[in-house]
Amino acid sequence: MKILGINGSPRKNGASARLLENALKIADDVSPAASVDRIDLVDYDIRHCTGCDACLKEACPLDGEDDYPAVQEKLLDASAIIIASPTYFSNVPGILKDFIDRSRRLKMDRGKLRDKYFTCLVSSGLRNGGAELVTLMLNNWALSHGMLIVGSVGNYLMENYLPITTLQRDGLRSFRKPGDQDEISDKVSERIGKRLALLTTGLAKGNQPPR
């Protein structure tokens, strides 16, 4: 069973990538039966959707002109999908939005992503900088594909169900570097990686998902 991690940031080593690496490393450590794979969308040429609606009935005309089909193949091969994203003006970066728009054919073709597990990991520069809106947007994308959203199960009192990290510390002008540790979001991203690994391998063995 495969867990696909997608870094939707133009930066390969930023705060979003750190959360993604946390989740994938734990998933790989927890269950040898769960193979993990990471891709960085910045490495792929994914053209803008033109709104031609050809994907309602057939493959996108752009599929022969860019790298999206390679990404789509990885999506179809995965049992669980993790998307890590920074916050750009309370939304996802352009490269991630292009990926989202081009995935429409998978929905129209009888819901090819249906019942795959999904979770998202989000970072932002400022506290209250719109990261919650990015989480909502990505979860809505997953729901529109019929995917099953997975959150962290840890300290119910002290931890959020999805990790959101910000570079801004308590002080107005105090910022951490993208690679610096954020104890809470790092822990939650690790819990999510573990839970995804247990869920995917549990189903692969024909067992009920562990609680």
For 19, phi then psi, to 5°, come to -60, -40
Mean pLDDT of 84-104: 96
| More confidently predicted of 185 and 204 | 185
Considering the domain boundaries, does residue 55 fall inside one?
yes
Considering the domain boundaries, does residue 211 fall inside one?
no
Q: pLDDT digit string (tens) for 132-168?
A: 999 999 999 999 999 999 988 777 666 677 777 777 7
Considering the domain boundaries, does residue 209 fall inside one?
no
Q: Which of 165, 153, 120 is nearest to 138 (CA)?
A: 120
| More confidently predicted of 192 and 103 | 103
Quick one: pLDDT at residue 208? 46
Least confident of 29-43, 135-149, 156-170, 175-189: 156-170
Rounded to two decimals, the pTM is: 0.88
**SS3 labels along the chain:** CEEEEEECCCCCCCHHHHHHHHHHHHHHHHCCCCEEEEEEHHHCCCCCCCCCCHHHCCCCHHHHCCCHHHHHHHHHHCCEEEEEECCECCECCHHHHHHHHHCHHHHHCCCCCCCCEEEEEEEECCCCCCHHHHHHHHHHHHHHCCCEECCCCCCCCCCCCCCEEECECCCCCCECCCCCCCHHHHHHHHHHHHHHHHHHHHHHCCCCCCC
Q: What is the dihedral of CA 191, 81, 149, 184, to 10 degrees?
A: 30
Considering the domain boundaries, does residue 83 fall inside one?
yes
Q: Count the domains in the chain.
A: 1
Look at residue 60 and tell me whether its pLDDT is greater than 70.
yes
Considering the domain boundaries, does residue 48 fall inside one?
yes
Q: pLDDT digit string (tens) for 196-206?
A: 998 988 844 44
CATH (domain of 72): 3.40.50.360
Quick one: pLDDT at residue 167? 72
Q: For residue 207, what pLDDT band results from cuts at 50, 70 and 90?
A: very low
The secondary element (H helix, E strand) that includes residue 81 is: strand 80-85
Least confident of 12-16, 160-164, 178-182: 178-182
Look at residue 177 and tell me whether its pLDDT is greater than 80.
no
Q: What is the mean pLDDT of the chain?
A: 88
Rounded-to-integer distance, Cα 26 and Cα 102, Å = 30
Mean pLDDT of 39-54: 96
Mean pLDDT of 92-96: 97
Considering the domain boundaries, does residue 22 fall inside one?
yes
Look at residue 180 and tell me whether its pLDDT is greater than 70.
no
Considering the domain boundaries, does residue 210 fall inside one?
no
Which residues span the domain enclosing 144? 2-204
Considering the domain boundaries, does residue 188 fall inside one?
yes
